[in-house]
Structure 1
Amino acid sequence: MPISMTRSYKLVSRRALPAALLVAAAFLSACSSSQKKPQPAELPPVAALMGTQLAWSAQMGPSNASLAPLFAAGRVFVANNAGAVAALDAANGKDIWRVSLDTPIAAGVGSDGQTAAVITRNNQLVAMADGRELWRVRLPARSFTSPLVAGQRVFVLTADRTVTAFDGKTGARLWSQNRPAEPLVLSQTGALLAVGDTLIAGLSGRLVGLNPDNGAVRWEVPVATSRGTNEVERLVDIVGPVSRIGSSVCGRAYSAAVGCVDASRGTLVWTKGAQGTTGVHGDDRLVFGSEADGGFVAWQRATGEPAWRIDRLKYRGLSAPLALGRVVAVGDSRGLVHLVSREDGSEMTRLTTDGSAIEAAPVLAGDALVVQTRNGGVFAWRPQ
């Protein structure tokens, strides 16, 4: 059955051994405490070269980068850490439905506009529709990536680098595909999307095309290759979101590279070294993303050659970006949304939220730009 689709980072052991978790946590703590973080430069007065208006706002409660808002079928799907899931009317932000799952959420929401799915912190995949729970199933491992709901199925990417398909109506397990990989993984959103009749997942530093009917591997393309002298240095997981235009899928391998593949052929178009840790987005001409220091970069989609770079947003803890029309939107750790020109990165305008970090990428909901903050504010702006 074809399917179609209309900052801090922790490490976890692939086997989830408590000792390994402690080692990873200690390693990151030592790295962060031994280095004083550079402070961002003061921003100049806002340029205000384009007009925007706050269309609506809503409150969901505290969230994190793995709980990115999602737009489907005129609805904005949002969730919070504590277990609330809501479908908001994209026109006015009012609740269409809202439900409490009574358990913390680790990843979500995925939806086709009707069925919505999230993954809880106790490894349960939960499907909902019209404000009621449909089913729950236990997953064999943790997940930090929103489920993909498509073709009356729910697809899940777990932290042990396994992709599993479930029946959307019953929750019955249909198939599972596991790929061997490094023992450590990121507790960060990965890549899972549909391109035509192919399911694409980010597994280690590779984009892998799967048959959605049975999980058979159709192709796999490395965006980056593991290197280094230890498990941390060899970690090159694909991080979400990725940028898809037609059969062109571009993604980032954590702190290693950015690259594009041709999903219709399963071939690598290009890959370039890059040090960023968040996902990318783009249009038919350019791919956009931030580097680890907050430098914001545009690459030519066809060749990977640099188009431009700006450094005025360095050290601001940038989210993954969203390309929309003539601008690119990116959130920061102080709750600002920066709209920059796609042509050269110059500032077009700047938007304010509740002052808490914007960790997940902004989304386009119809004609509105939507972000969700760490404190749970959901904000939507429209151009004037």
Structure 2
Amino acid sequence: MWGGSKAVAPDLGENIPVLGVRQAWSSKVGASSGAALDVRVQDYRVTIASSEGGLVAIDARTGGDLWRASLGEPLSAGVGSDARYTAVVSRSNALIVLDQGKEAWRQSLASQVFTAPLVAGGRVFVLAADRSVSAFDLNTGRKLWNQARSGGEALVLRQGGVIAAVGDTLVVGMSGRLVGLNPDTGTVRWEVPLASPRGINDVERLVELVGRVSRVGDSVCVRAFQASVGCVNVVRDRANVVWSLQASGSEGVHGDSEAIYGTESNGHVIAWRRDDGTRLWSSDRLRLRKLTAPLVLGRSVVLGDESGWIHFLSRADGAPLNRVMTDSSGMVAAPVVAADTLVVVTRSGGVYGFRPD
């Protein structure tokens, strides 16, 4: 027969639970397609949005609703939240802010947004697809400042980027660079390169930092899409690259004070030493499976896959500890933890809470 067949992921084999896990509750939110939306956690609150504009805040202790809302229009980015206020961006480029589930205000944006807004310090920060960053007053919606990037690239990545608060600095990803901004004015405090464009066409030269991010103290570790993984030491008015290594994944990283963990595009899971990038272990047990970014939880590294499985691997060596099934639609976002509960969201809108036995 002419042509090759698509590679099939190997069978997972028998599940021998070393770590006890049980489903504590389940809930629903609208289905998500065409947008990878983040899940936001504050204390016991888990805030989730669907791509069609449904939002819900769930109490992770019980699985019950704190509030629900429907915006009636599709979303391109979300969710940002500080427990009271929630921010999302519609596909019509509107920044929409809700106060305890009730719409408070909205503002038109000049560019598309694929990264969840950051709600912090009485402001909403938005990283747009054109690499511009804007700040809005959380109470009034008034634009406070805009930091535009000159010389935009021909292509942009339709995936969540990097925007986070590190001390009193707003840290964002702009192409292959991590940039520290003054959150009051938008002025640049520092910037460091983690990846550079390569190749001869626009697709090969596309470079972007992607979420999620692993931050421990002054150490911030990130992934550049299909290019590298690296860690940066951040101080208020300066930053330096501690290490950066070639890596071919498309999802963000997570970690602890000793190591960071990531998934490659071929399904391999890798652990690197946080202080110098030395590879600690690599597992191909989940090869050819499309995996989420990892979550470090207890003695486990937790990952979801496109078939609906949640995998628990040992932080020490990548050995399997357990796996549990959700539904067959696959994960829409990386797993999160709230109130000692592992929370995952599937593309069909299933929300599941798991706890140790």
Q: Name the counterpart of 1:194.
A: 165
Aligned with 2:17 (options 48, 51, 54): 48
Q: Name the counterpart of 2:213.
A: 242
Deviation, structure 1 residue 178: 1.4
Q: Identical aligned pairs, as a percentage?
A: 51
Equivalent residue of 1:266, what SS?
strand
One-letter amino acid matched to 1:79: A
Aligned with 1:204 (options 157, 175, 178): 175
One-letter amino acid matched to 1:259: G
What number of residue pairs does the alignment pair up?
A: 351
Q: Name the counterpart of 1:18.
A: none
Aligned with 1:173 (options 143, 165, 168): 143
Is the 2:262–2:271 Cα contact (8 Å) retained in structure 1? yes
Deviation, structure 1 residue 305: 1.2
* Unmatched runs of 5 consecutive residues or more in structure 1: 1-33
Equivalent residue of 1:220, what SS?
strand
Distance 2:272 2:212 in 1: 16
Q: Name the counterpart of 2:191.
A: 220
Distance 2:102 2:55 in 1: 10
Is the 1:332–1:359 Cα contact (8 Å) retained in structure 2? no
Aligned with 1:60 (options 18, 26, 29): 29
Distance 1:68 1:357 in 2: 15
Q: Name the counterpart of 2:132.
A: 162
One-letter amino acid matched to 2:356: P
Aligned counterparts, 1:1-150, within 5 A = 36-64=5-33, 66-150=36-120
One-letter amino acid matched to 1:358: M
Distance 1:35 1:270 in 2: 39
Distance 1:98 1:176 in 2: 31
One-letter amino acid matched to 2:32: S
Distance 2:317 2:251 in 1: 21
One-letter amino acid matched to 2:290: G
Could you give the per-residue CA deviations for residues 187-239 of structure 1, whole angstroms, max 9, x where no partner exists? 00101100110000011011111000000101111111111111111111001
Equivalent residue of 1:171, what SS?
coil
Is the 1:68–1:372 Cα contact (8 Å) retained in structure 2? no
Deviation, structure 1 residue 73: 3.5
Residues 1:357 and 2:326 aligned together: no
Q: Name the counterpart of 1:9.
A: none
Distance 2:129 2:211 in 1: 14
Deviation, structure 1 residue 353: 0.2
Aligned with 2:271 (options 298, 316, 319): 298
Deviation, structure 1 residue 44: 1.1
Equivalent residue of 1:184, what SS?
coil
One-letter amino acid matched to 2:323: R
Is the 2:311–2:324 Cα contact (8 Å) retained in structure 1? yes
Could you give the per-residue CA deviations for residues 271-325 of structure 1, whole angstroms, max 9, x where no partner exists? 0000111111111111111111111111111001111000010111001111112
Could you give the per-residue CA deviations for residues 84-127 of structure 1, whole angstroms, max 9, x where no partner exists? 11111111111111111011111111101111111111111100
Equivalent residue of 1:166, what SS?
strand
Is the 2:88–2:96 Cα contact (8 Å) retained in structure 1? yes
Deviation, structure 1 residue 371: 0.7
State the 4+ residue runs in structure 1 displaced beyond 3 angstroms.
34-37
Is the 2:43–2:339 Cα contact (8 Å) retained in structure 1? no
Q: Name the counterpart of 1:383.
A: 356
Is the 1:294–1:317 Cα contact (8 Å) retained in structure 2? yes
Length-normalised TM-score, structure 2: 0.96
Deviation, structure 1 residue 68: 2.1
Aligned counterparts, 1:229-308, within 5 A = 229-264=200-235, 265-308=238-281
Equivalent residue of 2:271, what SS?
strand
Q: Name the counterpart of 2:156.
A: 185
Deviation, structure 1 residue 359: 3.4
| RMSD after superposition | 1.2
Is the 1:318–1:359 Cα contact (8 Å) retained in structure 2? no
Is the 1:86–1:97 Cα contact (8 Å) retained in structure 2? yes
Is the 2:32–2:332 Cα contact (8 Å) retained in structure 1? no
**Structure with the higher helix share, 1 or 2:** 1
Deviation, structure 1 residue 351: 1.2
Equivalent residue of 1:230, what SS?
coil
Equivalent residue of 2:334, what SS?
coil
One-letter amino acid matched to 2:190: W
